[in-house]
A and B are shown apart, each in its own frame.
Chain A
Amino acid sequence: GIQVEQSPPDLILQEGANSTLRCNFSDSVNNLQWFHQNPWGQLINLFYIPSGTKQNGRLSATTVATERYSLLYISSSQTTDSGVYFCAVGGGATNKLIFGTGTLLAVQP
């Protein structure tokens, strides 16, 4: 099956700093989503981005499908950005999502 690797596993930032999270996957996919899991466990959709670039406020994402990676950029980080960021990919007919192990982000004031 498809393997999904995320890096870095942990990240500590000062408020206002920028960061880049990476997701590598082992096969072609027709779905790629980035999620933020907040401290209460809710998975919040950030981007549906099987290819290309999207931006939403301080967040942006780029997926290079031919090279099998995706990047999530967080600019001017805030304490509310803290939590776990998951990349999940789906392939084949069912759109079954395979999740990476996540990046734990802590933003300090």
Chain B
Amino acid sequence: EAGVAQSPRYKIIEKRQSVAFWCNPISGHATLYWYQQILGQGPKLLIQFQNNGVVDDSQLPKDRFSAERLKGVDSTLKIQPAKLEDSAVYLCASSLESGRGTQYFGPGTRLLVL
């Protein structure tokens, strides 16, 4: 069974530029999560989707971050404009259902904002 796929793996941009990340969850997984991991910390949830609806986006900086999950499968996370403090690893995860069960993580996208 294929795991969670993410691209790109690395991205370097200058502040005030925009960037987008892509995630393809495990086939059949209804719930998709985006986490942000700053160096030296544990991952922090940004947004959670159940199919193509948002379940939790309470920690998403909505003035600059946006995410969508069209058709309930793939998802994109966008930052516009980027700030220096957005430098982090962005992790996508999926689970079979919301509310319980194992979350499986992708390899992440390392973002460096200069």
Contact = CB atoms under 8 A, between A and B. Distances in A.
Interface residues of A, number: 22
Interface residues of B, number: 26
A96 interface: yes
Given A31-B101, A33-B102, A42-B105, A96 B56 contact: yes
Contact of B42 (A42, A45, A100): A100
Given A41-B89, A41-B108, A42-B105, A93 B99 contact: yes
A61 B33 CA distance: 25
Contacts of B12: none
A33 B33 CA distance: 15
11 contacts: A41-B37, A43-B91, A48-B102, A88-B43, A95-B98, A95-B99, A95-B101, A95-B103, A96-B33, A100-B42, A101-B42
Contacts of A43: 43, 91, 105, 108
Nearest to A4: B42
